[in-house]
Structure 1
Amino acid sequence: MDQTVCCYRHPDRETGIRCTRCDKPICPECMVNASVGFHCKDCVSQQGGTHVQARTIAGGSIAADPFLFTKILIGLNVLVFVLELAIGDRLALDLGLYAKCSHGPGTPTFGCGVADGEWYRVLTSAFVHNQPSPVHLLFNMLSLWWIGAPLEQRLGRARYLALYFVSALGSSAAVLAIAPGSLTIGASGAIFGLFGATAVYMRRMRYDMRPVVALLVLNLVFSFTWANVSWQGHLGGLVTGTIVAIGMLYAPRNRRDLVQWGTCAAMLVVSLAVSAIAVAQVTS
């Protein structure tokens, strides 16, 4: 049974509207128009006027193009894929996630791996996809647009980018820790982080979570049952993105920046530490 939400100033009035700045429930009498949504009278009085700068639910700035960075991420992935078609498998081997390559009779001598100092792979691998077929890229980019664009709008650009890249690092850490012997590529680990963040957002806003939970379960089943799919990367990205989103969306207002960026920094350190330990074990 859903809990009844009432205006914070008028407990006898039910409402489905919340202040876009502090998230308090407000009735029509307590709404003050903002450039995006409505603000409560407390937020307006704190700013000393009838208009305050609109913010996302996570405290980010409202951008003129709320989907710009999602478009840029998609463009970068497409650009790398075009380069793959032009250069061939060499690019995927040089940029993909690999702990340590093998050298010896009959073995490839491409690149080396993270164990040989190529730490850029923990991020560049998230921009490489299978070729020549565009199916892998197409599926990931559609998911990035459907899931990522709304999150960028709701979190703000800086927080969205932090979520994406920290999720990608968490995905790489899980792969290095669990399956260090396989070459892993694709943006799906970071996208699973966005899935987790979407679930946290819907919980935070008290929306019906059944659609996103069903979609997430289907993707997890796909990850564990299909061949050549890195369930390790998907799970690592999901866990990392979920934790980062909890820090961003449930941070207390008076310490919002500290909690949000502290959570991102903590998960960044954990991801790199797990990666370093995994690589050290492979080297030894």
Structure 2
Amino acid sequence: MSEAPSKTPVCYRHPDTETLLSCSRCEKPICPKCMNDATVGYQCPDCVKDGRRSQRRALNAFGGSLAAGRGGYAVRTIIGINVLVMVASVILGGPKAIAGAGGFFGLLGAGTPVTDAGEVIGWASYPDGSVHGIAAGEWYRLITAMFLHYGVVHLLLNMTLLLQIGTYLESRFGPARFLAIYFLAGFGGNVACYLLQPANQPSAGASTATFGLIIAIIIVNRRLMLDTSSLVPLLVTNLLFTFGIPQVSKEGHLGGLAVGAAATTVLAYSRLPHRTAKQVVGCVLLLVALIAIAIWRTNDILP
């Protein structure tokens, strides 16, 4: 006589395996290979996947990614770009690009073909008869200047400040919002150089952006009701440095400070609902205003 067919359920993923276990969520039969511990009972692989998809991403207080912000990827990338540009500047400019060319107690480096090509300069005639500058159509200088440095000391000062303050701010805002503050401050500081400095005076450095970070950390801590008493001396020290050391771009530092404060205020004080949309609109309006100022300056310089 043939045996009666078994009525024991089989695993829905392994039809040849009988089981008395079932998923506590969908109640499908699962074998020991397929079961995953859950708060109550066990779950099948499909329900585990569905649960992961339905979980909301952890956000920080300002709407950015909490996990990505703690990684510090944006700060590391910016530092890497600045170092690579410095290496290129030394290769093309020689030893004088490192230090010993004067300025800041003789520790700053000389200009190089790299700095000449990317620094902020409004309008200047070069010895070969060519004309260069933002007003001559080289608008990229308003961005590239924040990645250029006159020597290794100049680079180290800015990158040390970026690593200390930027890592904290990125953890608070997330990479995207941190980058918005950094680039708006840097761009704003360069626009201030273009607007207020003599048209043929060059300037470069990440300090336009890092000055924006200094005021950003004060604003953000006040917004989070954290102590800011230890941060005010940092701001004062950098302002004394700005006004006390020759060949430092006061216009760039103060411009980065002002625009960094504006960008941080937009990102830190935008509230739900539609917080991200408000932040985007605020930052875009700030960028448009800076571009408008640069266009006005161009029309003022051109004959």
The TM-score normalised by the length of structure 2 is: 0.73
1:229-275 deviation per Cα after TM superposition (whole angstroms, max 9, x unaligned): 00100111111111111111111111311221111101101111111
1:128 aligned partner: 148
1:155 aligned partner: 173
1:200 aligned partner: 219
Structure 1's unaligned 5+ residue stretches are: 1-50
1:140-174 deviation per Cα after TM superposition (whole angstroms, max 9, x unaligned): 00000001111111101111111111111100111
Structure 1 residue 217: Cα displacement: 1.2
Q: Is the 8 A contact 1:93 1:110 kept in 2?
A: no
2:89 aligned partner: 84
**Partner amino acid, structure 2, of 1:129:** H
Task: Give the 4+ runs in structure 1 shifted more than 6 A.
Answer: none
Question: What CA distance in whole angstroms lies between the structure 1 residues aligned with 2:281 and 2:214?
Answer: 21
Question: What CA distance in whole angstroms lies between the structure 1 residues aligned with 2:134 and 2:247?
Answer: 21
Q: Is the 8 A contact 1:54 1:62 kept in 2?
A: yes
Question: What CA distance in whole angstroms lies between the structure 1 residues aligned with 2:154 and 2:300?
Answer: 31
Structure 1 residue 181: Cα displacement: 2.9
2:57 aligned partner: 53
**Partner amino acid, structure 1, of 2:77:** I
> What does 1:50-129 align with in structure 2 at a 5 Å threshold?
52-64=56-68, 66-88=71-93, 89-103=112-126, 107=127, 112-129=132-149
Structure (1 or 2) with the larger CA radius of gyration: 2
Question: What CA distance in whole angstroms lies between the structure 2 residues aligned with 1:181 and 1:235?
Answer: 20
Structure 2's unaligned 5+ residue stretches are: 1-54, 94-111
1:55-78 deviation per Cα after TM superposition (whole angstroms, max 9, x unaligned): 111101123552011000000000
Question: What CA distance in whole angstroms lies between the structure 2 residues aligned with 1:110 and 1:211?
Answer: 49
1:262 aligned partner: 281
Residue identity over aligned pairs, in percent, reads 35
3-state secondary structure, aligned to 2:58: coil
Q: Is the 8 A contact 2:149 2:205 kept in 1?
A: yes
Q: Is the 8 A contact 2:212 2:261 kept in 1?
A: yes
For the aligned residues, what is the CA RMSD?
1.7
1:95-153 deviation per Cα after TM superposition (whole angstroms, max 9, x unaligned): 111111124xxx4657611111111100000001013xx10000000000001111111
The TM-score normalised by the length of structure 1 is: 0.77
1:172-223 deviation per Cα after TM superposition (whole angstroms, max 9, x unaligned): 1111111033101100001111112111101101112121111101101111
Q: Is the 8 A contact 1:114 1:121 kept in 2?
A: yes
3-state secondary structure, aligned to 2:67: coil
Question: What CA distance in whole angstroms lies between the structure 1 residues aligned with 2:129 and 2:285?
Answer: 36
Question: What CA distance in whole angstroms lies between the structure 1 residues aligned with 2:224 and 2:128?
Answer: 51
Q: Is the 8 A contact 1:144 1:191 kept in 2?
A: yes
2:52 aligned partner: none
